[in-house]
Every structure is written in structure tokens, then in C-alpha cells.
Structure 1
């Protein structure tokens, strides 16, 4: 399965026709070195800074098996380093090409599985719950960027290639997570082979919103941080307002590194329900060094 592509140009991904055909055949592609090592190091330093505005808004989610996953979620990318990555040419244009038209930033979340304590994610499709947000078509793509190396020991993503062709599957709630129908998953795994997505820091997995995926708890002595940015087709604007963004054109930037180092922080919050933590619903600009 030719699903992996390497990037040597830090400002642009050379998108090939077979990349697009493989994406639609398998439901995903892997791009090695999507972020250069200098970009990854700047991102790590940004997030690890004790004064990081983004990290102050992290919350935990129960995995239904005694552990938690820490996350931060935002809808609108700003002018801090994370926003520049969300809006950078090599990600936005690649997603637009693979999806066959203009995309906009739906939301991004930072997923943090700490060493020995990081929780699991059950089998699910992202569109399994975006469907309930008034998104009519599954015309969305997610970009999971490995901030740390991701492998079997620290809970890398597991996928079922080509499962996006199954259409949307019914989902149920386990703990604070939503999971695909377990009985149907059992049958699907009889015909589709599970694949671990092991990434080196800076690599990225680009996957369709109906691709089934999960991840194990982090049993290792190493943390496992990843940033997952989701993009929706511009002509697939949700038909009802909800806790993620409506169509907003992306102000594309390139390159990532050459950006101002000081910005201003503005945010709004909303509770999705009585039991979950506050979501960082809108980030316009974030004050932080890059």
C-alpha cells in the first residue's frame, strides 16, 4: 500500500495525482516531515512554555477505562504559532487538493497522552458526531501532526484502511467519549485489516472524516502529544450554528517560521453540556513567543 509521501520543501507539499487517488482509495495518506524539525521544536517550545495561553485552557476527558486524555480545542486559528500551522499553505492547499475544492478550518485540538497515564480513544468516525452538528456531507479531512514520536507503546493511532467507504456508522457514548457501534466494528474487522500509524515527530496523517480509528492508552515512559486540525469543504457549511465554526475563509500564510513573535489573546467560551469542560470556542490571537 503506497500511502506515505516525504516532504523536503518546508513551504509547499508537492501534491501528486497518486496521492489523491490513494487518499480516496484508502481513506488516508501519510506525509513524512510535513513540519520541519525547526518548526516542530518551535511548536514544542511554544506549548511547553509555562506562560502558554493555549495550555491554560486544557481539560481532561474520561476514556471509560479509568484513564483520562488531556485536550485543548479551538475553532478559529489566530496569529500565534499554532494558528500559523493551521493556516499554512502546505497544509491548507494540500487539504483543498485532496478534498477537491476550497476548505475552511473547522477546529483544531491538541491531544496530550501523558506517560503511563494517558487514556485511550474508542473506535469512532469523526463524522459520527459531526453529522449531529448539521454537517450534511462527510466532506471533511483531519490532519494529525505528531508533536512527539508516536508508536504502539505510547498509543499511536490505529486505523481500518478503506473503512471510509462504509458510510456513517451509528455511535454510542462510553464514558465521555462517543464510539462506533461495537457489534458492527466486530464484523468490519473481519474484512478490513487494522493498521497502526506510527509517526516520527513532524510527520502527519491526513484522513477522511468517515475513516474508523482508535488509539490505546499510553503505557510507556514517554508522553504522546499530537495536534489534529480538521478542515471542512467551503460548500459544506453546517446548516445550524453549534460549538464548532461555520464557514470562515482561511487567510493562508507561508512560511510558518517567519511570523511576528508577539500577539494578543482574545477568547470566548461555551459549555457543550453539563458534564464536559469548557471548550475554547474562539481564538483570534494568542499572546506567546514563537
Structure 2
């Protein structure tokens, strides 16, 4: 097994800041292959999206999986290059939770209100021993609504979450009063990322993204994990089960199989 451990400095930065941004975490070739598969799946991903609405009722689309499959997206959720660092950061073995494709299309008007992932996951797991990794497929910058985080906000604990304004039925945002207070005390960081960069962030880190008014898409894959000893709460029976991690070759093979199936479907349709 290749050693994908974080350095002591990286681990310390994550615990201090609640996030860790690593440029070039995946190679250009790896992200190009993943991106080609995702673009070929675009019609399917956008046909059955989970639509999130912000407090103004504006929509943002994402596609969520809560089980691992034999496809490119699940392969990255299994990637030992992601999972090994989470074992370090969470201080023990980890379990897969879910993964999702964030589909910020050109001209997307919707934003993600300030929230903590554990603001949602509080109803699924007993402790906030959880985190996610965002993998940039497209460039992310201020001009297309890149993710914003509040440095060190995870150390202030979970903030109450509730629906605000015209939010979707299942969406909530962090208490605006507490968010305003934390914005005064915590540095706001714009997580500008090039394709292949990876952002590791704690489940209690407050984060937010604005609309994408640009002419280019901003897609990203996010994989989420929890410590294996974190008791599920009102959750599916299979949550908390172990899973196999894959090495780089296995992940690349899964992406190639996914692309082969896409080509076969295209050939059958002609």
C-alpha cells in the first residue's frame, strides 16, 4: 500500500483551521478522465438531481449517492489517497457515509447558505467525528462562486440549523445571528481551486458558496466519511459498515470501465 499520509504540519493545520486545501492532489490525467465521464453523464446527472433552494428560493443542483457502486464516482469515494488522510484527521478507522456531485452550471442563481455539514448529519450520527473531501473537476474561483469557509469555526461547536425564507423542505441554514458573530471573529477564506485540488473539511466547519454567474460550469465531487465508532442515530442499518479502499490503479480501472459502458450505450443507441 502506498503511503498517502499527511505531514504533521498538514494535520496540525487541519485541526487548527477546520480545513486543509491541497493543490494538485490528483493529476491532470486523473481529473481529465473523471471529468470526461462526468460530462458524458451530464444528462443523467441533471435529469434526477437533488435540488437545493436557498433562502431566496433560488435553486442549485447536486446528485447524491448513499451507496457505493461500480462507477467512477464511487471509486473516488473508495480511494485510499482520500481515506488514509481521514483516518489520521479523525483519529481512527473511518466508514463511508455518502458522496455527491455538485453541479453549479453556468448562470446558476442559487447559493448554499452558511451551514455546517453536521448541522444536517446531527440527525444521522451521534458525534461530529465526520468530514468531507471536495475534489475540483472545474476551476473554482470568486467569479464562479467558489466555496467559502470560516477558519477555525469548527472549534465553536455545532450551531443550530433551521429553514429560512424560501429554502427547500429538507434544507436548513445555520442560525444567522451566530453566523454573523463568527464572521466577525473568524477569517473568511475563499477556497479557490484548480482541477485536481482537494479540500478536506471538518463537519463543523461553517461554509457557504455563492451563485455561479459565469459562463463556465463549476463541478466538484465530494466524498464524506465518519469514524467507524461513531454511533449511527436514526440511520439505515448498513450505515457504519466497513468498506474496501482502492489504490490508484483500481480507481483508474473503475473510471475506464465506466467510460467503456458509456461508449457501449452510445453505440447501442446509434
Structure with a larger share of its residues in helix: 2
Match of 1:146 in 2: 136
CA distance in 1, matches of 2:112, 2:28: 28
CA distance in 1, matches of 2:238, 2:25: 25
Match of 1:172 in 2: 162
Match of 1:193 in 2: 187
Match of 1:282 in 2: none
Out of 188, 201, 204, the position equivalent to 2:198 is: 204
- Is 1:57 the equivalent of 2:52? no
**Which piece of structure 1 moves more, 212-221 or 249-258?**
249-258
Q: CA RMSD in A?
A: 2.3
Pair 1:235–1:12, CA change in 2 (3 A): same
CA distance in 2, matches of 1:69, 1:56: 13
**Post-superposition offset of 1:14:** 4.3
Match of 2:247 in 1: 254
Superposed, 1:1-290 pairs within 5 Å as 13-50=4-41, 56-133=47-124, 135-174=125-164, 175-176=167-168, 177-242=171-236, 246-255=239-248, 256-259=251-254, 261-262=256-257, 288=262
CA distance in 2, matches of 1:195, 1:33: 19
Secondary structure of the 1:85 match is: helix
Pair 1:179–1:260, CA change in 2 (3 A): closer
Pair 1:241–1:85, CA change in 2 (3 A): same
**Post-superposition offset of 1:12:** 5.2
Q: Unaligned stretches of 5+ in structure 1?
A: 1-10, 264-285
TM-score calculated relative to the size of structure 1: 0.82
Q: Unaligned stretches of 5+ in structure 2?
A: 265-270
Pair 1:51–1:239, CA change in 2 (3 A): closer
Pair 1:185–1:50, CA change in 2 (3 A): closer
**Post-superposition offset of 1:110:** 0.8
